[in-house]
Copies of this chain bind each other. A is one copy, B any other.
């Protein structure tokens, strides 16, 4: 899958594509047939289905499960599994369970990328633990800091995001028409130990959205610093493989950072849509609020995957100009030590040789957090 409107989309691979969703829905039906004791190998039937036709037919009942079940029934004919297919389920059971399964896979892939990213950020923090640079607050030079501490902050953002992803749950949805499991009970099935239905309580979905947007928040935080520090007037960082221009020869644009930031400008609103939808739940199946989730979730997941993968490349290729950092700090002069003078005066001693405080220890603590995972 590629998307001309979202350069880099192919990095998200098959996650949340039409094909993946179809396969996941068929998986749900197949596992359900197993539970019912009327098993069938459904996946091969997928080859005979026309995804476009299914997508078109999805409008009739408002979701893709109805035409999929019809197509599978037609393929199974009057066989035993054909008669038992989908019995005891409702459309939302199948679609929710399938989407959650896709989400689970995507989060595994995402966390693998965050692992890689964290490792690279750890290297950066370790390498530059004591690399001095000027601190900047509200765009202006503040007091000295180190590039290692900056990298440690980036790493903290990534570890925080990963902690959020680690807490997510990926429950099945097995409730039947109105969440009572009446049909499955009528069929003699006991679902007592399965996760309770959550047709209209969407914490699973909003928590996923929140964790994903927290991830792009963290990735964008890295990109934001690169975009400032790669400005030619600052020149302390550069992307390893910058992008070119369609008209200006020799231009070297921090493209990965640009694209990571792009994602983070869109995801907060997508996560908000999931909350608006959650708050609009009503009855035993919502009249629109459920349907608003599917594409929103797809876009959130894929954009986060793309951004994480781009961040891995961005950080892996980052060029750090420690000389320039040193020069900028030197050039900032006494102004960035004015605070130190006040403090030393108050404490009644000459200013210490360095004014980096606990920067090194703060780096060490984040590295410990990385190692203890």
Contacts and interface: CB of A to CB of B under 8 A. Distances in A.
Nearest to A361: B192
Contact of A178 (B51, B143, B161, B244): B143
Contact of A262 (B190, B263, B292, B357): B292
A243 B298 contact: no
Given A178-B137, A217-B275, A288-B259, A4 B203 contact: no
Nearest to A195: B365
Contacts of A117: none
Contact of A248 (B142, B234, B328): B142
B285 A138 contact: yes
A220 B292 CA distance: 13
Contact of A2 (B56, B144, B265): B56
Interface stretch (A7-15, A39-47, A104-112, A122-130): A7-15
A131 interface: no
A322 interface: no
A72 to B, nearest CB: 11
Q: How many copies does the complex hold?
A: 4
A248 to B, nearest CB: 5
A160 B210 CA distance: 14
A214 B221 contact: no
A332 interface: yes
Contacts of A373: none
A230 B138 CA distance: 10
A18 interface: yes
A338 B248 contact: yes
B261 A182 contact: no
A114 to B, nearest CB: 14
A120 interface: no
B218 A214 contact: no
Nearest to A336: B248
A247 B280 contact: no
Given A58-B7, A258-B62, A279-B264, A335 B214 contact: no
Given A227-B139, A233-B233, A284-B142, A340 B252 contact: no
A180 B245 contact: no
Given A5-B21, A135-B284, A186-B352, A362 B181 contact: yes
A142 to B, nearest CB: 4
A58 B4 contact: yes
A62 B268 contact: no
A60 B68 CA distance: 39
Contact of A186 (B3, B213, B280, B340): B340
Contacts of A200: 153, 221
Given A55-B7, A143-B180, A358-B181, A255 B289 contact: no
B268 A342 contact: no
A245 to B, nearest CB: 7
Interface in A327-356: 328, 332, 335, 338-340, 342-344, 346-347, 351-352, 355-356
Given A161-B203, A265-B292, A271-B271, 11 more contacts: A2-B51, A83-B346, A143-B180, A177-B245, A179-B362, A181-B359, A185-B357, A196-B365, A196-B366, A221-B281, A233-B233
